[in-house]
Chains A and B, each alone.
Chain A
Amino acid sequence: MNRIDKLFQDKKERVLNVYFTAGYPQLNDTTTILEALETSGADLIEIGIPYSDPIADGPTIQESNGVALENGMTLKVLFNQLKGIRDKVSVPIVLMGYVNPIVQFGVENFCAKCEEVGVDAVILPDLPMFEYLEIYKPMFEKHGLYNIFLITPQTSEARIRQIDENSNGFIYMVSSASTTGAKTSISLDQSDYFARVKNMNLKNPTLIGFGISNAETFDKACENANGAIIGSAFIKAISEEGNLEEKISGFVRSVIG
C-alpha cells in the first residue's frame, strides 16, 4: 500500500505536510531535515527539486531554489542522498518540482529512482493533465508513484471532478490565487471555495496549501480539509541562525502545538 493511502487511512484530520527545498540551506541537509521533521511530528514531507525558473513560486522559495542550485543540488545528487532513507524515515515523501529537470533526467528513469529510494508521489505544477494521462501515467503506475494535482479557487467544478477522478493520494488545494508565500494568511473570502469543495465530497483527501504559516492558519485550514501544507514559512524558519534540528522542532511545535 502506498504510504500516503496508509497515512490518510489512519489520520483524517490535522495532517501536516511540510515542504523544503533540497540542497537548502546546505547541500547535505536533506536527511537531517527529513529526520527532524518526522521526529517533530510532520505527517508527510515534500521535497522541492530546485529549478532555475520556478514560476509558481514567490520570493522565499525562489531564493531557496537559487541557493540550492548554487550549492550543487541536482536530481542525481538528491537521489544519492535519499538512498537508504527508508531505514530512517517512514512518513510519506513527495517530490515537488517543475517538469523540465524531470524530462532531462528521463521520466522513466526518474520514476524508477523514486521507487528505488522510496518516494511515494510527485507534484509537478506545470505538467498538464492530458500530458500526464497520455505520456506519464503508465510510467508512474509501473513504479507505484502517485501524481498529485492542484486545484485553485478558479478551478471549475467540472474540472475538480475530472482531477478527483484522475488523482491518487490527495488533492492539493491552493488556498488562493497566488504564488507560494505571497500571502501570509488565509482570509474569509476563501470560505466559499472551501465550502464548495467540501460539499463536493471528493473521493480523495484534500490538503490546503499556500498562505499557511502558523498555528492560526493551520487550524483554519484544518477546519476545511484533512490538513495543510506549509512551505515558505518553514523555509524562512530554517533560514535563521541556530541549530537546524532545533529550528525544525521549534517550528513544527509552534504550528501543531
Chain B
Amino acid sequence: MKIQVDERGYYGNFGGAFIPEMLYPNIEELRENYEQIVQAPDFQKQFNHLLRDFVGRPTPLYLAERLSEKYGAEIYLKREDLCHTGAHKVNNTVGQILLAQKLGKQKVIAETGAGQHGVATATVCALMGIECIVYMGEVDMARQKPNVERMRILGAEVRPATSGSKTLKDATNEAMRHWINNPTDTHYIIGSVVGPHPYPEMVARFQSVISKEIKAQLLEKKGKENPDYVIACVGGGSNAAGAFYHYYNEEDVQLVAVEAAGLGNHTGESAATTVLGKPGILHGSKTLLMQTEDGQVVEPYSISAGLDYPGIGPVHAHLFETGRAKFYSVTDEEAMKAGVLLSRTEGIIPAVESAHAFAALNQMTFNSSDVVVINLSGRGDKDLETYIKWGKY
C-alpha cells in the first residue's frame, strides 16, 4: 500500500474538498495551478534560494549524545528550531508566498494557534511587501503574547477570533470566512496539512524538505538514508508530514506521531484526535475529528496552543487507519518534563509542541543500535511564560 494522494485529494478514506460554493473558484484555481507553478524551474530556484539564505537551511541533524545515552539508542535531532522565526512553519510560508505572487494575489490571510505560523506568515509578507492579516483565537493571543507582538512589529494585523473556544479551530473558521468575503485578491496561507484539497498535499510538499535533508544527512553520517524511527508531534500535522514525507513508503522506517493528551485522554481535557476522534468533516476535509455523538465539534484542550486542535490532517488519519504510523499521546505534564529534560541534557529549550515528541521516548523501547530521528519542530522562546507558569524546574 502506497501512501499518496489521489486526484480528488483523498488519502485512502480521508481528504477531499468539503467547501462552500463560495470558495470553489479559489480552491479550483489553486488545484489547477499549484503543481505546475511549484514544479517550474524559476519557482524552485527562488524557493531553494530563500530556504537557504533566508530560512537558514539545511537545518542541522544533530546527534544528541546525552539524550542517546539516557534512552539507549542513537538519537538525532532535526533542528527545525534553528529555522528563521523559530519553527518549521516558515518552510511552508516561503513556498506559499511565492505561490501567492505567481497567482497575482495582493493580500494574504492566515490562521495561527501558537503564533508560529502567524509569525512565519507575517515574516514572508514583510519580505515581499504583501498586506497580511492573521486570525488568532483570543485565548491563544493571551498565552502566546510575544508572538502577537512579533507579528505586529512585522507589520501584520492580528485579528482576534472570539467565537467558540477562541483557539486555533475558531481562528481557522474566521480565516475561511474572511476568504469567502474576499475571494479574488486574497491568498489564504493555511499553516498545516489540513483544509480542503490541495492544501494538505501542498503544505506537506513544502515541508518535505525536512525529510529530504534527513535522508541526505543520515547518508553522510551513517552511510544509509533510513533511520529506524522518525518521531514528530502532531497538531494539524505539518512538521510530522514533512519529517515523514520521503519515508511514507520506506517500510523499514517506523513513523511515530505524538499527539497532545492535555490533562489525560479520559479527563475531557485532551487534544488526542486519534484516541478520541471519529471520522468527520472539519475545515474542508474528511478526517478524524473530535466530536459529539451529534456531530458537533468538541473543544480540545492542550497546554500547547499549536497542538490544541480537534482534528488532524487527512494524511495522518490515513497513516493511523492503515497502521503505517504509530500514534502516542502525551500529557501536559509529561511534555513539560520532557522539555526541561532536553534543556538540561542538550542545552536546547524546545517549543512545548516539540516537547511532546520527546516525551514519547518514555513510552518506547529501543535497541542500542536503533537510529532515531526526532523532529525538533521549534524553539521554546515563545513558551517562556508557559514554562514559568508550570514552574517545576
Binding site for B on A (CB under 8 A): 51-53, 55-58, 62, 66, 69, 74-76, 98-105, 125-128, 130-131, 149-152, 154-156, 159, 174, 177-179, 182
Contact check: which of B22, B182, B281 meets A152 at CB < 8 Å? B22
A-contact 0/1 string along B155-174, CB 8 Å cutoff: 00000000110000100010
Within B277-301, which residues are at the interface with A (CB < 8 Å)? 278-284, 289, 291, 293-297
Q: 0/1 per residue, B1-41, Cβ < 8 Å to A?
A: 00000001000000011111110110000000000000000
| Given A52-B164, A53-B164, A128-B25 contact (CB < 8 Å) | no
Q: Is the CB of A101 within 8 A of B19?
A: no
Which chain B residues have a beta carbon within 8 Å of chain A's beta carbons?
A: 8, 16-22, 24-25, 163-164, 169, 173, 176-177, 180-184, 278-284, 289, 291, 293-297
Tell me the complex Cα distance, A101–B282, Å. 11
From B20, B163, B295, B297, contact of A126 by CB (8 A):
B20
Contacts of B283 in A (CB 8 A): 53, 55
A104-B25 in contact given A128-B16, A128-B17 (Cβ < 8 Å): no
Sample of 6 A–B contacts (CB below 8 Å): A103-B295, A128-B17, A154-B184, A155-B25, A174-B21, A177-B181
Chain B residues positioned under 8 Å from A127 (CB to CB): 18
Total contacts A-B at CB 8 Å: 104
Q: Are B21 and A100 in contact (CB under 8 A)?
A: no
A182 touches B8 (CB 8 A): no
Chain A residues with CB under 8 Å of B163's CB are 62, 66
Establish whether residues B281 and A103, one from each chain, have CB atoms under 8 Å apart when the complex forms. Answer: yes
Give the shortest distance, in Å, between B24 (CB) and chain A (any CB).
7
B residues in contact with A131, CB < 8 Å:
16, 18
Q: A52-B297, A150-B20, A155-B25 are in contact. List 4 more A-B contacts (CB 8 A).
A: A56-B20, A125-B20, A126-B19, A179-B177
Determine which of B8, B21, B278 lies in contact with A150 in the assembled complex, contact meaning CB atoms within 8 Å.
B21
CB < 8 Å neighbour of B173 from A53, A66, A125: A53
Q: Which residues of A contact B19 (CB under 8 A)?
A: 126, 128
Q: Contact: B18 with A177, CB < 8 Å?
A: no
Chain B residues, CB < 8 A from A130:
8
For B289, the chain A residues whose CB sits under 8 A away are: 100
Q: How far is the CA of A58 from the CA of B173 in the complex (A)?
A: 11
B295 touches A104 (CB 8 A): yes
Chain A residues contacting B296 (CB-CB under 8 Å) are 51-52, 69, 101
The residue on A at minimum CB distance from B296 is A52
Q: Which residue of A lies closest to B183 (CB)?
A: A177
Known: A99-B281, A178-B180, A182-B181. Contact between A105 and B295, CB under 8 A?
A: yes
User: What is the CB-to-nearest-CB distance from A235 to chain B, in angstroms, rounded to a whole number?
Assistant: 16
Q: Which residues of A contact B164 (CB under 8 A)?
A: 52-53
Contact B280 A174 (CB under 8 A): no
B294: A residues at CB distance < 8 A: 74-76, 101, 104-105
Known contacts A69-B296, A74-B294, A99-B281; A149/B21 CB under 8 A: yes
